[in-house]
């Protein structure tokens, strides 16, 4: 057994001994609380030694023990900090335990009125479901919660970042109406900022593509609205792309559709989301003999 791991186990045993000895009546009168504090320190030191040995579950367990003791002692901030430490360890070994620890931290921060911290950790939970657990429904749920908390604290940029994730996965799950609502909301919000207004064109493009997944008429009406809301959109490459795609869809011209996408992609690289949505739209040409 590695030296650090052995030292960590000795510290765990020492912490448990201190806790046992602090339960007696005399101990509670003379130094009981200090023994609990010593036990917390032992758990934390053990956790760090486990981390050095890459024993991630054991490190997470030790941090959780420290967090539980802080919670019982009424040290909310310290308890939340240790739950987050535990979550960071569990991320490397057990995604569900990482989520459980972050939820406990969120509950503490919410109770303390620290909603920005709660938002950040809802975002962290969403990222775990997004990447490690591959559960998009739960990822969307926690991105929405994070956005709500950020918005309540006037952190609108962070709120929009989370909302865009919700829109991305809503479209992926074919909930186009929800994706459209979010992309339009963020686009209009961006127009109000001198720094963000240029990104509005991309969000209008994403919304328009979601409209095209529903039907052509929807997209045509949307384009008209977007041009009224953002006059600069009328001459933008994003707007021209949508108009050409609509034209090729109406003419059942799959080759023209592909060429329009290639031309746009040669200047502005399209990410995986765009590729997936555009393939769904193009499929309509083969699946529907008459799109008019």
Give the pLDDT confidence score for residue 223 in this predicted structure.
94
Quick one: how many helices (H) and strands (E) in the chain? 15, 0
Give the pLDDT confidence score for residue 28 in this predicted structure.
44
Give the pLDDT confidence score for residue 181 in this predicted structure.
96
Give the pLDDT confidence score for residue 291 in this predicted structure.
45
Ranges of the chain with pLDDT below 70: 1, 22-33, 133, 287-292
Q: What is the pTM of this model?
A: 0.83
Task: Determine the angle formed by the axes of helices 254-267 and 237-250, rounding to 10 degrees.
Answer: 170
Report residue 251: phi and psi, to 5°: -90, 0
Indicate the DSSP class of residue 71.
H
């Amino acid at each position: 057994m590695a030296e650090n791991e052995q030292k960590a186990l000795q510290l765990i045993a020492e912490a448990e001994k201190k806790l046992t000895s602090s339960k007696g009546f005399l101990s509670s009168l003379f130094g009981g609380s200090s023994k609990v504090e010593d036990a917390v320190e032992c758990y934390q030191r053990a956790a760090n030694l486990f981390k050095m040995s890459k024993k991630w579950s054991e490190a997470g367990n030790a941090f959780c023990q420290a967090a539980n003791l802080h919670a019982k002692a009424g040290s909310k901030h310290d308890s939340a900090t240790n739950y987050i430490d535990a979550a960071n360890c569990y991320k490397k070994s057990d995604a569900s335990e990482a989520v459980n620890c972050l939820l406990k931290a969120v509950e503490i921060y919410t109770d303390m009125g620290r909603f920005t911290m709660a938002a950040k950790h809802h975002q962290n939970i969403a990222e775990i479901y997004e990447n490690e657990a591959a559960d998009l429904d739960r990822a969307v749920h926690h991105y929405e919660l994070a956005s709500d908390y950020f918005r309540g604290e006037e952190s609108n940029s962070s709120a929009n970042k989370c909302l865009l994730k919700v829109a991305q996965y809503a479209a992926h799950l074919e909930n186009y109406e929800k994706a459209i609502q979010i992309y339009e909301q963020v686009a209009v919000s961006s127009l109000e900022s001198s720094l963000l207004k240029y990104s509005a064109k991309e969000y209008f493009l994403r919304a328009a593509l979601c409209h095209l997944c529903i039907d052509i008429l929807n997209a045509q009406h949307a384009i008209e609205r977007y041009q009224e809301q953002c006059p600069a959109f009328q001459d933008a490459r994003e707007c021209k792309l949508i108009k050409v795609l609509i034209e090729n869809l109406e003419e059942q011209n799959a080759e023209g559709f592909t060429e329009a996408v290639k031309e746009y992609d040669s200047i502005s690289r399209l990410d995986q989301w765009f590729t997936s949505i555009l393939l769904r739209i193009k499929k309509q040409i083969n699946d529907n003999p008459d799109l008019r």
